[in-house]
Structures are given as C-alpha cells and as structure tokens.
Amino acid sequence: MHTVKKKDTKAMDNKKLVETVAANLGRTTDDVGKLLDALAGVLRTRCSEMDSVVVPSFGTFEPKKRNERVLRHPGSGRRMLVPPKVVLTFKLSHVLKSKLK
C-alpha cells in the first residue's frame, strides 16, 4: 500500500474537540468532558465483552481476536511466538469514506 505521510500540521486534540462540541451543543466543556469520559467507559466495558459499537455514518468499532502466530524476526531471523491478543478495529462507514475523497 502506497501511503503518503503528511506532516501532521493539522490536528485536532482532545481539548479542541471538546471545546468545539461544547460550543455546538451550548454546554460547558466540563459537561462534555464528563460525557466523553462516560463514552470511553462504555466503549471499554462493552468492547471488552467483544461487543461492537456501530455509529451510523461514522464507522464501526469492533474488537477482534488475533490468534497467536509464529513469525520470523526480520532482523535476526529467529522464530518468535507472538501471543494472541484482542485488538479494537475501526471500520470507516461508506458515507464518511465517500465524503473523504
């Protein structure tokens, strides 16, 4: 995959995000911050139970289990046993995908 890494000139950090959302909702940043924390908490508990979260026109958060596998270390050439793990994947919705182009 040929990807071009842009220099991260434009970035929205958490603070800016919270401020924007607070402004649009007409609420305080405190409130929004609490709601965001709650969202993170819910995501954590539900995704830990392997439930996926679907946000329409945004994307899907889906925890996936990766099996353990044996790799060859590219540098040393030694075999490694990579342990199984659960990762959170995010799949962009088609709506947003088309808007990105």
Binds another protein (CB under 8 A): choice among 7, 11, 74, 75? 11
Binds another protein (CB under 8 A): choice among 7, 14, 74, 75? 14
d(CA 72, CA 78): 5
Report how many residues bind another protein under the rule CB under 8 A: 66
Tokens for 71?
Answer: 């790799």
CB 42 within 8 A of CB 48: no
Instruction: Give yes or no for residue 25 binding another protein (CB under 8 A).
Output: yes
Closest to 54 measured CA to CA, from 20, 98, 95, 11: 95
CB of 74 to another protein, least distance (A): 13
Instruction: Give yes or no for residue 7 binding another protein (CB under 8 A).
Output: no
Residue with tokens 């994307």: 59
Tokens for 87?
Answer: 């990762």
Binding site for another protein (CB under 8 A): 1-6, 8, 10-14, 17, 20-21, 24-25, 32, 34-44, 46-59, 63, 67-68, 70, 73, 78-90, 92, 96, 99-101
